[in-house]
Amino acid sequence: MGRIVFLSLSPDETLLGFAYPKEEREALMAGEPDKFMMPIPSDMRHQWVLARLSAIDYEELRELIADSWRMCVPKKARSEYL
């Protein structure tokens, strides 16, 4: 069975990598550069963004996690959850 990765926490727990549409990354970073940054060069091919956890409140974190999960899971799982 394949594995779905929609979140990743840095070893020091300061950064959160999460699934995000590639075509929307630039706008996200331009709007809030203190919160979000591009992934490392080797991860640029993936639909991935990094967030500074110290700059995100609980509600925003919860929304990012839910959106990332919905983006990555099969439609059936998403519809059963909703």
Percent of the chain with pLDDT over 90: 61
What is the average pLDDT score of the chain? 89
Does residue 32 sit within a domain? yes
Does residue 57 sit within a domain? yes
Instruction: Give the CA-trace dihedral at 70, 71, 73, 77, to 10 degrees.
Output: 40
Tokens representing 55?
A: 């700059």
Q: What is the pLDDT of residues 22-46, one digit of tens each?
A: 999 999 999 999 999 999 898 888 8
pLDDT, position 82: 63
Does residue 45 sit within a domain? yes
pTM of full prediction above 0.85: no
Q: How many domains does the chain have?
A: 1
Does residue 37 sit within a domain? yes
DSSP for 44-70, written as a single string: TTSSEEEEEGGG--HHHHHHHHHHHHH
User: Once rounded to an integer, what is the mean pLDDT over residues 69-77?
Assistant: 82
Tokens representing 73?
A: 């899971």
pLDDT, position 77: 74
Does residue 2 sit within a domain? no
Structural domain containing residue 34: 7-81
Does residue 1 sit within a domain? no
